[in-house]
Structure 1
Amino acid sequence: MSLVIVFDAILLTALLIVGVPVPLCFAAACLFLFALGDIGSASFLIGAGFSKISSIIIVAIPLYILAGGLMSHGGIAGRLIDVADAALGRTKGGLGLVVIFTTAVFGAISGMASSAVAAIGTIMIPKMVDRGYDRAYAATLVSASSVLALLIPPSASMILFGWVTGTSITACFLAPVLPGILLIGLFGFWNRFYAARMEVTVAAPAKFTAIASDILAKTRRASLALLMPVLILGFIYGGITTPTEAAAIAVVYAVPVSLVIYRDLTLKEFWEVVWRSGQTAGVLLILVFFAAMLSRLFTLENVPQHILEGFMSVTQHPIGLLLMANVFLVLIGMFMEDVSGILLAAPMLMPVMQQAGVDPVQFAAIVAVNLGMGLITPPTAPILYFGALIGKTQLGSMLKPTLVFILFAYLPVVLLTTFVPSLSLALPRFFLGG
C-alpha cells in the first residue's frame, strides 16, 4: 500500500476525530488523493459519484427520513409509546421495556439511530426520571436501543449495504432480524437487572379487566399508528412493492394521519419537518457522492486487496479473518455513523469475507451489528454523545451501564452473528428460498 493511501487514511481519521462534518472529511480525503496520487482525469470520479446518487434505490432513504419526521411530530410515535406503556409499564422495569420496543420500531421506520434518540428520548427520558430511573441510565438505554434501527427492517443501513454490494435488499432486511430480536431480549434482561436496584415507581395494581380495557382503549386510539409498520413490511415481504415504493407509501400514509386524522401536526410544522428532512437528505447525498468517489479511488489503488493481504499475513484461518474484520468494523463505527461506515467498509471488506467463505447476506448482518456496537463504544461513541445531549446528562455517568450493554448484550450477539451463519441466513432462506 502506497504512502499516499496511508496518509490519506490518517487524514480521514484525524478529521473525523476533531469533529469535522463527515461529508467534508470524505471530500478532503478525495481531494488529497486526487492531488497527490497518480489519478489522471477527475471526470470518471465525478461520474462515479453522480451514478450513485442518481440511483432509484437511494430515493428510499430520504423518504424514510421524512416518514420518521412525520411520525415524531405527528403524534404517531407518541401513540406507539402509549400502547407499549399500557401493556408493559405496570411492571418494575416495564418503562425501560417500553423504551426498547418503541425505539426499535421508530428507529427502523425512520432508518436512523439519531432520529430514534431524538424522537423517543425527548419523550421517554423525562418520563423515566419521573418514575425513579437514574437519568444517566435512561439516556444510556435510549442510546443503546436506538442502534436497533440498523437491525430491524426496513433499515436504511441495509438498503445502502444491498445497493453498495449488489446484494438483495429484501434479503439484507431479513438478515439482521434474529440478531436484533436477540439483542432486544438481552437489553430487556439487563434493564430488569438495573431497575431492580433503583427506587422505580410503578402504577398501582389493578384488576385484569381494567388493565385490558386500558390497553384496548390505547390500542384503538393508536390503531392507525400501529398499522404503519405492518403496512410497510407487508408490502415489501408480500412482494407488492419494492423497498423504495414502500418508503413512498409510508410518507403518503403518514401525511393524512398526522395532519387530518390525529391533527397533532399543523401545516407550518409539516413544512418545517419537510425542510429539516430535506436538509438531512441533502447532507446524506453529499456524503454518498464523496464516499462513492473515495471508494472508487481506493479500488483503483487496490486498497481492498491490500487489506486482505494484511489480514492474511496475520492468519489465513477463517475465524481469525472474521475476528479482525469485526474489530475493523467496530473501529469504523466508533468514528462515523452507520451510513458512511457502510459506504466505506462494505466494499473494502468484501474480499476478506469472500476469502473467509461468508455469504454476502450474512455479511450484511455482521456489518449491522458491528457498526451498531461501534456507535455506542467509547471513547468516540457518536450516538452516546447525542444521547447525553438529549438526556441532559454527563457522558461519564453513562459509561458503566453502556459497558454492561456492550460486553453482555452486544458482544455476544456480534459473535453469534459472525460464527453462527444460520442466525442471519434462516429468515432470508425461509422467505426468499435459496
Structure 2
Amino acid sequence: MSIYIILDVVILCLFLIIGVPVPLCFAAAVLFLYMTGDFSSSGFLVSAGYSQMSSIILLAIPLYIIAGNIMSQGGIATRLIALAEVTVGRFTGGLGIVVIFSTAIFGAISGMASSAVAAIGSIMIPRMVERGYDKGYAASLVSCSAVLALLIPPSASMILYGWISGTSIIASFLAPIIPAILLISLFIFWNYILTRKMDIQSNHYENQSLSAWGSEVKVKTKKAALGLFMPLIILGCIYGGITTPTEAAAIAVLYAIPLSIYIYKEMNYKQLYNVLWESGKITGILLVLVFFASMLSRMFTMENVPQILLESFTTISENKIIILLLVNVFLLMVGMFMDDISGILLATPMLMPVMHGLDVDSIQFAAIIATNLGMGLITPPTAPILYLGGHIGKTNLKSMLTPTFFLLFGAYLPVVLFTTFVPEASLFLPELILGN
C-alpha cells in the first residue's frame, strides 16, 4: 500500500480525534491525496461526488430527520414515552425498559443515534435519577440504546448502505431487525440485573390494582394513538409496497406537522420554522460529507485500496472465520473514530470486494456493518455517542464505564458475532418477505 494512502488515513483519523468537523476531515483527506497522488484532473472526482450527492434516495434522510425533530418538539415523543412508561411501569427496572424502547424507536424515526440521545436523554435521564437510578447507568443506557437507530428501520444508515452497495433498501432495512430484537432482549436482561441493587423508588403503577392500571393504560394509549400511527404509516407503506422509503418519509413529515400544530397544539409555526432550519443545517452538513466521502472513496478505489485490504486479510489467514473477525475489528475501529454515516460512506466501498471474496451476501453485510459500527460508537476510549450521553446526562465517562462494559460484552458483542457467523439471522426476513 502506498505510503501516501497510509498518511491520508492517519490525517483523516487525526483530524477526527482533535475535533475538526467531519466533512472538513474528509475534505482534507481528499485534498492531501489529490496533491500527492497521480490524478491528472479533478473534474471526474468532482463529478463523482456530485452524482452521488444528487441521488433521489438521499432525500429520504433529511425527511426522516425533519420527522424526528417534529416528534421531539411537537409532543409526539412525549406521549409515546408516557405510554411506554405506564405499560411497563409495574415491572422492576421498568423505567430502564422505557428508555430502551423509546430511544430505539425515536432513533429509528429520526435516523440518527445522536438525535435519540439528545431528545430522549434530556427527558429520561433526569427522570431516572429522580427515581433512584444511578446517573452514570442512566446515561449509559440511553447512549447504548440509541445506537439501535442503526438497526431499526427506517434507518438512515441502511438507506446509505443500500444506496452505496446497490442492495435493495427494503432488504437492507430488514436485515438487521432480528439482531436488533436480540439486542433489545439482552439490554432488558442486563437492565434487570444491573438495577436490582439500586435503591429505586416505586411508582404508583406498581401499587395500582390491575383494573386501575388497565384504565390508565387505556387513557395513555388514547392520547398517544395518533402518534403511534406515525411509525406504522412509515413501515406499512414501505413493506406493503405502497411507497418507496423516500415517499414514506415525506408522508411521515406531512402527517407529523398538522398532528403537532393543530391536534396536539404543542408546536407553532415559529417552532416549525426552527425545526426546518435546524434540519436543513444537518442536511447541508450531511451533503457536504457525502460529496467529499464519495470523492475519497473513488480515489481509494483507483488506488486499489479494497483489493490491497483483501490481500492483507488473506495474507494473515485464508480462514473465512479469521477474515470475518478481522473485518469486525476493522469496522469496530471505524465506528470508534467516526459517526455511523461517515463510517458507512467510507467502509462500504472498501469492504464490499472483501465480502464478495468471502461469498458473504450483501444483505447479510448490511447487518454486519450496522452492528459493528453501532458497537464502535459506544466503545471507549473514543465512543462519540457515549460522550454525548454523558454531556446530556451531566455526568462523566468514568461513572458510565461499568454499565457500558456489561452492555458491550454481555449484549453487543454476542449479537455482533451471531450476526457475522449465522447468515440466517439477517437473511431470514428478507427471504420471507421479499423472496430474495
The alignment's TM-score, normalised by the length of structure 1, stands at 0.99
Structure 1 Cα separation of the partners of residues 413 and 25 of structure 2:
29
Structure 2 Cα separation of the partners of residues 234 and 211 of structure 1:
30
Q: Say which of 326, 329, 348 aligns to 1:327.
A: 329
2:181 corresponds to? 181
2:145 corresponds to? 145
Structure 2 Cα separation of the partners of residues 318 and 19 of structure 1:
36
Do structure 1's residue 244 and structure 2's residue 246 form an aligned pair? yes
Task: Work out whether residues 89 and 202 of structure 1, in 8 Å CA contact, stay in contact via their aligned partners in 2.
Answer: no
Q: Per-residue displacement from partner, 1:178-205 (whole Å, max 9, x unpaired)?
A: 0000000000000011111100112241
Q: Secondary structure at the match of 1:393?
A: coil
Q: Say which of 220, 223, 226 aligns to 1:224.
A: 226
1:124 corresponds to? 124
2:270 corresponds to? 268
2:112 corresponds to? 112
Q: Give structure 1 regions of 4+ aligned residues with deviation exceeding 6 angstroms.
A: none
Q: Say which of 386, 389, 392 aligns to 1:387.
A: 389
2:78 corresponds to? 78
1:360 corresponds to? 362
Q: Say which of 421, 425, 428 aligns to 2:427.
A: 425
Task: Work out whether residues 107 and 146 of structure 1, in 8 Å CA contact, stay in contact via their aligned partners in 2.
Answer: yes
Structure 1 Cα separation of the partners of residues 89 and 343 of structure 2:
36
Q: What are the equivalent positions in structure 2 for 1:33-432 lying under 5 Å apart?
A: 33-204=33-204, 205-432=207-434
Percent identical among aligned pairs is: 62
Q: Secondary structure at the match of 1:39?
A: coil
Structure 2 Cα separation of the partners of residues 210 and 112 of structure 1:
37
Q: Per-residue displacement from partner, 1:355-394 (whole Å, max 9, x unpaired)?
A: 1111000000000000000000000000000000000001
Amino acid paired to 2:414: P
Q: Secondary structure at the match of 2:20?
A: coil
Task: Work out whether residues 144 and 405 of structure 1, in 8 Å CA contact, stay in contact via their aligned partners in 2.
Answer: yes
Structure 1 Cα separation of the partners of residues 90 and 117 of structure 2:
23
Amino acid paired to 2:161: F
Q: What are the equivalent positions in structure 2 for 1:15-26 lying under 5 Å apart?
A: 15-26=15-26
**1:266 to partner: Cα distance:** 1.6
Pairs aligned (count): 434
Q: Secondary structure at the match of 2:41?
A: coil
Task: Work out whether residues 108 and 148 of structure 1, in 8 Å CA contact, stay in contact via their aligned partners in 2.
Answer: yes
Greater mean deviation of Cα atoms: 58-67 or 197-206:
197-206
Amino acid paired to 2:89: G
The alignment's TM-score, normalised by the length of structure 2, stands at 0.99
Amino acid paired to 2:320: P
Structure 2 Cα separation of the partners of residues 227 and 250 of structure 1:
10
Structure 2 Cα separation of the partners of residues 6 and 150 of structure 1:
29
Q: Per-residue displacement from partner, 1:219-270 (whole Å, max 9, x unpaired)?
A: 0001011110011000000000000000101100110001111011121111
Task: Work out whether residues 66 and 274 of structure 1, in 8 Å CA contact, stay in contact via their aligned partners in 2.
Answer: yes
Task: Work out whether residues 335 and 380 of structure 1, in 8 Å CA contact, stay in contact via their aligned partners in 2.
Answer: yes
Task: Work out whether residues 91 and 202 of structure 1, in 8 Å CA contact, stay in contact via their aligned partners in 2.
Answer: no
**1:427 to partner: Cα distance:** 0.4
Amino acid paired to 1:159: I
Q: Secondary structure at the match of 1:380?
A: coil
Task: Work out whether residues 92 and 201 of structure 1, in 8 Å CA contact, stay in contact via their aligned partners in 2.
Answer: no
Structure 1 Cα separation of the partners of residues 85 and 6 of structure 2:
51
5+ unaligned residues in a row in structure 2: which ranges? none
Q: Secondary structure at the match of 1:222?
A: helix
5+ unaligned residues in a row in structure 1: which ranges? none
Q: Per-residue displacement from partner, 1:51-107 (whole Å, max 9, x unpaired)?
A: 011000000000000000000000000001000001012222000000000111111
